[in-house]
A and B are shown apart, each in its own frame.
Chain A
Amino acid sequence: MSNAILVVGGGFSGLTAAIEAAELGHDVYIVEKTPWLGGRVAQLNKYFPKLCPPSCGLEIQFQRIRKNPRIKFFTQAEVIGFSGVKGDYNVRIRINPRHTAPHNVEFNLLASGLQGEVENEFDFGMSKRKALYKAMPFAFPNRYVLDTDALSKADAARVAGNKFLNVEEKPREVEFSVGAVVVATGWKPYDVTNLTNLGAGTVKNCVTNMQLERLASPFGPTGGRIVRPTDGRAPNHVAFVQCAGSRDQNHLNYCSYICCMATLKHCLYIAEQSPETQITVYYIDLRAPGRYVKVLEKVQALPNVHFIKGKVANAEQAPGDKVRITAEDAVRGEKLTLDYDLVVLATGMQPSLAGESAPLPLPLDEDGFIAGGEEAGIFAAGCARMPLDVMRSAQSGTAAALKAVQTVKGR
C-alpha cells in the first residue's frame, strides 16, 4: 500500500495536479517525456485568459515544485511497466540519458561552437538547434541536454573531454510504488500532412497555429517577429483557416475548442506588430466560449480583421511563394480564390495518446481521449481527457488531484 501519487505528464495540468497533491501531504512523482517541464504552454507566446507569457504562470508552478520536497520529477522519462491493484501500484520508468551534469551548468559558449545542427522540434521545424541545447531561457530544470545523435565528428571530439558532459551515460530504470495515478499526457497538434487538400504541409508560407506561436514568441526562430518563413518579410495579407482538420470525420471528429480563440489571439499579435496588415479569418462557426466573447468583440472591432463564413477547402502554392486558397463565402454564395502572403492553418488538438500504446490500462475513446479508468484509481486531467484551454486544464488538474488524494487517503 502506498499513498504516493504518480503524475504522468509535466504540462500545465500535470504540474497543477502534482503541486496540489503534494501540498496536501502526498509524495508525488512526475514523469515527463521531454527534457523540461511546462508542456505545450511553454511553446506559446501568450496564453489565455490574461494573455500573459508562459513564463508568468509556469514560473509560479516551478517555484512551488522547487520548494516542495515531496515532489520528485523525472524528465526524458516514460512509464514502461505498470502493475498491481488500486491503492498499490508498482511503476517502472525508464529515464533516457541527458548526458549533462546534474547541476545548472551554462554551456552557451560550447553549444554555439558546435557544428552539428538538426531540426528544432520545439520550433516545429522552423529553426535548427545544436546537439547541446536548451529549448527556452526559463527552462525547468534549468539544464542543457546533449543530443548525441546530432553531434558531428568534430563536435564529438570537442565534448569528449568536458567534465560536465558524459556521452557514455546510459538509460536508467527506476521503480516505485504509488496508490493512485493522474494521467495528464496532454495533446499534440494535428498532423497537417493528413490534410491533403490544404497542401499536406508542403506549401511554403502556409504554417500552423502552433508555428505562428513560435514565430510570435520572443524566444522563437525570429525573435518574435511574425514574418514569412521563406523571406523573413512581414506579410501584408494573412489568412486564417479555421477547423483545419477539426470537426471533420476524416480527421478529428470533434471541435478542438481552442483554435478559434487561438486565432483571435493571433489576430491581436499581428495587429499589434503591424496594424496595416490585412487579416481574413475563414470559419465555419466562431466559437468564443463564455467570457471569451469579449475577445471576439475586441478583434471584430479591429479595422483590418475580416471574417468570412466558409471553410477553406483548397490550398496551393502561388507565384512569389504566396499561398492560394479557395473558399466559398457561404453568406454571399461566392467562391473566392485568393493569394495570401501567409496562411495559418488553425489545426486542432489531438490527444497525445491517440495512436500510441500506453503502458497504463487506460480506456480510450475512438479519438484517443481517456474515457474512464477512475474505478482503478487512475484519473485523467487536462487535454488527455478533452480539449481545454489552459485555465480549465489547471482546474481539471486540481480536480484529478483531489480524486487521487481521496483514493489513497488514510493509508
Chain B
Amino acid sequence: MAQCVIKPDLEFVRELQESGGDSLKKCYQCATCSVACPLAPANAPYPRKEMVWASWGLKDKLMGDADLWLCHNCGNCSDLCPRGAKPADMMSAARNVIYRDLVEPKSIGTLMSKPSGLPVLFAIPALLWLVIWAIRASIVGAWFPRTFDGRIVFGQIFYGDYTIDPIFMLTFFGALFIIGRGVVKLWGMFKPEGTLTVIGQKRCWLLHLWDVLWDEVITHKKFSDCEEGPNTGKTHYNRQFGHLLLVYSFCILAFVTAIVAGGHWIGKIWPVVSIETPMPLTFPVKLLANLGALMLLAGLAILTVRRWLQNNKNHGSSWHDWYLLGIIWAVALTGVLSQCFRLADCVVPAFMVYYLHLVFVWMLFAYLPWTKLGHFVYRTAALVYVRMYGRG
C-alpha cells in the first residue's frame, strides 16, 4: 500500500468550525450523506470525502475542491446524517472560508467574516457619501434642497455625472477585476495534479457557460433536482421560487440601471434617447424598476422566512447567510422608502434614506468578492470548470 503523510492543519479545522461547520468532528464516515445528495455524481461523490478532509484539516484538498460548488445546500445530507455532523453546514462553512480568503486584501474578508467587522465596513461608504453630501450641500446651499419648482430631486445632492456614476463605475469595475482574479485563482486551485487527457471532442467553454446559466439562472432547475433525494421524512421548502424571484429581480434592476445610465450618457450626444431622473411613475422604465423592487421584496421575504423557520437542529445559519439577506433587505427597503418619501414630499427623511441607500448599494457591490453574494460568480466559474472536466 502506498504510504502518505497527512499533515493536519488544526487551525483550518478551527476556522471551519467557526464559519458554520461546528459539528464536523461528529462525522464517523458512514457515507449516508453522499447517498442523500441527489446532485452528487456517482464517481467520487460528495460530501463524505469533504467531511474527512475537513476533519483532518486538509486545507489544500478542501479549498481546491470544485464539488463545494456543486452543492446547492438543500440540507438532505444533514437531515439524514445519523450523527448530527451537518455536512451541508460544513460545505457552506468551507465556501465561507473561500469568500474570506480567496482574494486580496484579505483584511476585508476577515472583517466580513464576523459581525464585529460590520461597523468598519459600514463606516467606509458612510463617510464617503457623507463627505460628498457635505461638499454638494455647500455648493447647492442646503443639506435638504428642493428644486426651484419645489420638487425633491436626489441628483441635486448626489449629482450623477460627478458623484454617483464615477464612484459606482469605479466600484463596479474594481469589484469585477478583483472577482475576476478570484476566479483565476479558484481555477488554479481546482487544477488537479499531473496532466489530464481528454478523450473525444472538447466543447467550447462558452457552450458550457450557457448550460450552467440555463440550469442555474434561467430555469433554476438545480433547486428542484435537490428535492429528488431519498425520503428524509422531513418537510422541505423548495427554494426555487424564492431564489428565482430574487435573481430575476436583480436582473431587472440591473437592466433598468443600465438603461438609465445609458440614456443619461448617450443622451448627452444623442438627445433623443436621453432619460432624466426622477422618471414619472408611469414611464415604462420606472414601471419595470418598481416591478423589480416588488419581486425583490417578495423573493427576500420568502427566503428569509424559510431560513427563519428551518430546523436549527440540522441546519445552521452563518453570519455570511444573514449578512447577505440583511444587506439585500437594506438595499431594497431604503430604495423603496426613498422613492416613497420623495413622492410623499418629505424632504428630510427622503435624503437621509437615499443616503443610506447609496451606502448599502456601495457595500453590496464593493464587498462582493468577499461575501456570499460572490457565489454567483464563483459558483458559475466552478460549474463551468467541472463541466469542462466532464463532471457535474
Residues of A within 8 A of B (CB): 194, 196-197, 200, 243, 247-251, 284, 309-314, 326-328, 330, 333-337
Stretch of B36-44, B241-249, B250-258, B282-290 at the chain-chain interface: B36-44
State the majority secondary structure of interface residues on B: loop
The closest CB in chain A to the CB of B42 belongs to A335
The answer on a CB contact under 8 Å between B29 and A314 is no
The answer on a CB contact under 8 Å between A333 and B49 is yes
Q: How far is the CA of A327 from the CA of B40 in the complex (A)?
A: 12
The answer on a CB contact under 8 Å between B45 and A311 is no
The answer on a CB contact under 8 Å between B43 and A328 is no
Q: How far is the CA of A194 from the CA of B32 in the complex (A)?
A: 16
Query: How far apart are B324's CB and chain A's nearest CB, in angstroms?
Result: 30
Q: List 16 A-B contacts (CB under 8 A).
A: A196-B230, A196-B232, A197-B230, A197-B232, A200-B233, A243-B82, A247-B30, A248-B82, A310-B31, A311-B30, A314-B36, A327-B35, A328-B31, A333-B43, A333-B44, A335-B42
The answer on a CB contact under 8 Å between B230 and A334 is no
B83 CB-CB contact with A under 8 Å = yes
The closest CB in chain A to the CB of B52 belongs to A330
B231 CB-CB contact with A under 8 Å = yes
List residues 158-214 of chain B with CB under 8 A from any CB of chain A: none
Beyond A249-B82, A250-B82, whether A196 also contacts B35 by CB under 8 A is no
The answer on a CB contact under 8 Å between B45 and A243 is no
Instruction: Give the residues in chain B near A311, CB-CB below 8 Å.
Output: 30-32, 35, 82
Instruction: Give the residues in chain A near B84, CB-CB below 8 Å.
Output: 249
The answer on a CB contact under 8 Å between B45 and A313 is no
What would 20 more interface pairs be, CB under 8 Å, given A247-B30, A249-B82, A284-B30?
A: A194-B233, A196-B233, A197-B80, A197-B233, A247-B28, A250-B80, A251-B82, A284-B29, A309-B31, A311-B35, A312-B35, A314-B35, A314-B229, A328-B31, A328-B48, A330-B31, A330-B48, A334-B44, A335-B34, A335-B35
The answer on a CB contact under 8 Å between A247 and B82 is yes
The answer on a CB contact under 8 Å between A335 and B45 is yes
Q: How far is the CA of A328 from the CA of B32 in the complex (A)?
A: 8
Instruction: Give the residues in chain B near A313, CB-CB below 8 Å.
Output: 31-33, 35-36, 80, 230
Instruction: Give the residues in chain B near A249, CB-CB below 8 Å.
Output: 82-84
Query: How far apart are A366's CB and chain B's nearest CB, in angstroms?
Result: 14
Q: How far is the CA of A21 from the CA of B111 in the complex (A)?
A: 71
Instruction: Give the residues in chain A near B229, CB-CB below 8 Å.
Output: 314
Query: How far apart are A190's CB and chain B's nearest CB, in angstroms?
Result: 13
Q: How far is the CA of A313 from the CA of B48 in the complex (A)?
A: 13
Q: How many B residues face the partner with a CB closer than 8 A?
A: 26
Instruction: Give the residues in chain B near A327, CB-CB below 8 Å.
Output: 31, 35
The answer on a CB contact under 8 Å between A337 and B42 is yes
Query: How far apart are A317's CB and chain B's nearest CB, in angstroms?
Result: 13
Q: How far is the CA of A382 from the CA of B32 in the complex (A)?
A: 31
List residues 257-300 of chain B with CB under 8 A from any CB of chain A: none
Query: How far apart are B148's CB and chain A's nearest CB, in angstroms?
Result: 70
The contact string, 1 if C-beta is below 8 Å from chain A, for chain B 23-65, is 0000011111111100011111100110000000000000000
Q: How far is the CA of A330 from the CA of B36 in the complex (A)?
A: 14
The closest CB in chain B to the CB of A315 belongs to B230
Q: How far is the CA of A327 from the CA of B49 in the complex (A)?
A: 14
Residues of B within 8 A of A (CB): 28-36, 40-45, 48-49, 80, 82-84, 229-233
Beyond A247-B82, A312-B35, A326-B35, whether A196 also contacts B231 by CB under 8 A is yes
The closest CB in chain A to the CB of B79 belongs to A250
Query: How far apart are B323's CB and chain A's nearest CB, in angstroms?
Result: 30
Q: How far is the CA of A248 from the CA of B231 in the complex (A)?
A: 16
The closest CB in chain A to the CB of B36 belongs to A313
Q: How far is the CA of A79 from the CA of B359 in the complex (A)?
A: 73
Instruction: Give the residues in chain B near A335, CB-CB below 8 Å.
Output: 34-35, 40-43, 45
Query: How far apart are A287's CB and chain B's nearest CB, in angstroms?
Result: 13
Q: How far is the CA of A335 from the CA of B230 in the complex (A)?
A: 14
Query: How far apart are A283's CB and chain B's nearest CB, in angstroms?
Result: 9
Q: Which 3 A-B pairs have the closest CB atoms?
A: A248-B82, A196-B233, A313-B35
Q: How far is the CA of A284 from the CA of B229 in the complex (A)?
A: 21
The closest CB in chain B to the CB of A245 belongs to B82
The answer on a CB contact under 8 Å between A334 and B43 is yes
Q: How far is the CA of A309 from the CA of B40 in the complex (A)?
A: 18
Q: How far is the CA of A314 from the CA of B232 in the complex (A)?
A: 10
Q: How far is the CA of A55 from the CA of B150 in the complex (A)?
A: 102
Query: How far apart are B85's CB and chain A's nearest CB, in angstroms?
Result: 10
Query: How far apart are B309's CB and chain A's nearest CB, in angstroms?
Result: 20
Q: How far is the CA of A251 from the CA of B232 in the complex (A)?
A: 12
Query: How far apart are B73's CB and chain A's nearest CB, in angstroms?
Result: 18
Instruction: Give the residues in chain A near B42, CB-CB below 8 Å.
Output: 334-337
Q: How far is the CA of A206 from the CA of B40 in the complex (A)?
A: 25
Q: How far is the CA of A78 from the CA of B285 in the complex (A)?
A: 79
The closest CB in chain A to the CB of B229 belongs to A314
Beyond A197-B230, A249-B84, whether A243 also contacts B30 by CB under 8 A is yes
Q: How far is the CA of A197 from the CA of B84 in the complex (A)?
A: 17
Q: How far is the CA of A197 from the CA of B234 in the complex (A)?
A: 11
Q: How far is the CA of A336 from the CA of B35 in the complex (A)?
A: 9
Instruction: Give the residues in chain A near B83, CB-CB below 8 Å.
Output: 248-249
Query: How far apart are A122's CB and chain B's nearest CB, in angstroms?
Result: 29
Q: How far is the CA of A336 from the CA of B41 in the complex (A)?
A: 10
The answer on a CB contact under 8 Å between B82 and A328 is no
Query: How far apart are B108's CB and chain A's nearest CB, in angstroms?
Result: 36
Instruction: Give the residues in chain A near B45, CB-CB below 8 Å.
Output: 328, 333-335
Query: How far apart are A260's CB and chain B's nearest CB, in angstroms?
Result: 14
Q: How far is the CA of A215 from the CA of B24 in the complex (A)?
A: 41
Instruction: Give the residues in chain B near A194, CB-CB below 8 Å.
Output: 233
The closest CB in chain B to the CB of A333 belongs to B44
Q: How far is the CA of A63 from the CA of B336 in the complex (A)?
A: 87
Query: How far apart are A166's CB and chain B's nearest CB, in angstroms?
Result: 46
The answer on a CB contact under 8 Å between A328 and B231 is no
Q: How far is the CA of A196 from the CA of B45 in the complex (A)?
A: 22
Q: How far is the CA of A314 from the CA of B229 in the complex (A)?
A: 9
Q: How far is the CA of A333 from the CA of B51 in the complex (A)?
A: 13
Most chain A CB atoms below 10 A, which of B82, B83, B229: B82
Query: How far apart are A202's CB and chain B's nearest CB, in angstroms?
Result: 10
Q: How far is the CA of A243 from the CA of B233 in the complex (A)?
A: 18
Instruction: Give the residues in chain B near A337, CB-CB below 8 Å.
Output: 42
The answer on a CB contact under 8 Å between A314 and B31 is no
The answer on a CB contact under 8 Å between B35 and A284 is no
The answer on a CB contact under 8 Å between A330 and B29 is yes
